[in-house]
Amino acid sequence: MNYTENVRLAMQSIKSNRLRTFLTALIIAIGLSALVGILTTIDAIKQSMTEAFSSMGANSFTIRNRGTGIRIGGSGQRPKRFKSIRYEDAVKFKDRFQSPATVSISVFASGGSTVKYGQEKTNPNINIQGIDENGLAGQGLELSKGRNFNSTEALNGSNVCIVGNEIVKTLFKDQDPIDKVIVAGSNRLRIIGVLAAKGSSMGFSGDRAVYVPLFKAKLINTNGNPSYTITVMVPNNDLMDNIIGEATSEFRKIRKIKLGDDNNFEITKSDAVAQTLFENLIYIRIGGIAIGVITLLGASIALMNIMLVSVTERTREIGIRKAIGANPSVIRAQFLIEAIVICLIGGALGILFGIALGNAISMLMGGGFIIPWLFIAGGFALCVVVGIVSGYYPAQKASKLDPVEALRYE
């Protein structure tokens, strides 16, 4: 069987019916671009989330008075909220905890604040957070200039602060902000450090935040009963479970929890939220695949109809080929190859559209360019399958035509 000849004949037929072929290929392209686009977007979301959570420290865990609050869909229970973790409890834990780990303490002091310097001021969307000398590392933040708090400043509540990059751009333009005095809310603070630009993560932007020493945050906190967050950074992930066990035991003693009673606090690994979301992305992936498959099913029906029309239009040609010696398998292969070629043309367009769509969304999310090689290979394989399924019946019908009756066809 001469496959090269069959491919040549298929291409001739496609060229002679350009509009019909284009419309059929476009239907296939839309189905496949929906499939590849959604799957590429999901990969972009996963990559963006991985980068966001890895920047918070892969080997760390937090002690809070409540769970993460992440729920997918309408099912599930709300996380329990226990009594607040007091400043004294958090500091006592930091002093007592002797494991090979770094402990930091943080607290949300105020939200929706305005920061002023001279005649310049920000929008009222600035968060004020209290941290200790390890707080920047605990939240994956880095300084672009200036210095960090020292332990004395953190415990004494000095009137100093570290500000986000966006605040500096708004208030100081081209000036050096170090040692300048700003008013954050109703508090006069001297800037000792500026954070490197980081962007937004899970609805919070470090670029629009003012960080003050931990005790200072206790003094200015607008919440009458704030709960402090303890972050423990582990030097090696292999030690994670052992250190979590030690931290749980120590904090139970501090909270005076009786033997046999449940914990009245939550310990959450830094990647726990990401893992929860990753697990539930499978439902979005399934939905994307279902949308693509349904569209491809419609495209395959359209392709089968086009191929049946093609068989009818070329009945006399089929009769001539059979009369000069072409057997049914050659005729069948000719029409199958034609259906597969149309599918591959549509598939190539669909994959290009899908990658462009997925990466456009990825760029909007601040992610990188993704080439989903697995989806590309799977997409072309799917096109071949759709071509075979859609083209088999018309090809079989063509191969069974009686040559004498076919030659009579007008």
CB contact at 8 A, 231 and 244 = no
Band the pLDDT of 230: cuts 50, 70, 90.
very high
pLDDT confidence of residue 66: 75
Most trustworthy range by pLDDT among 232-236, 322-326, 376-380, 399-403: 232-236
d(CA 244, CA 267): 8
Residue 81 has pLDDT above 80, yes or no: no
Residue 233 has pLDDT above 70, yes or no: yes
User: What average pLDDT does the structure give for the chain?
Assistant: 81
The structure tokens 């607040």 sit at: 84
Q: Which two tokens stand for residue 185?
A: 């809310």
Cα-Cα-Cα-Cα dihedral sign, residues 383, 388, 393, 394:
positive
Among 139-143, 395-399, 401-405, whose mean pLDDT is lowest? 401-405
226 or 28, which is more confident? 226
How do residues 163-211 score in pLDDT, each as one tens digit? 999 999 999 988 899 999 999 988 999 999 999 887 554 445 668 899 9
pLDDT confidence of residue 33: 81
Nearest residue to 49 via CA among 203, 231, 268, 254: 203
252: left (phi over 0), alpha (psi -120 to 50) or beta: alpha
CB contact at 8 A, 188 and 216 = no
How do residues 105-147 score in pLDDT, each as one tens digit? 999 998 889 999 988 999 998 999 999 999 998 888 889 999 9
Q: Which whole number is the average pLDDT over 263-271?
A: 82
Instruction: Please give, one letter per residue, the 3-state secondary structure of 313-367.
Output: HCHHHHHHHHHCCCCHHHHHHHHHHHHHHHHHHHHHHHHHHHHHHHHHHHHHCCC
How do residues 145-165 score in pLDDT, each as one tens digit? 999 999 899 988 899 999 999
296 or 205, which is more confident? 296
407 or 98, which is more confident? 98
Q: Which whole number is the average pLDDT over 337-366?
A: 81
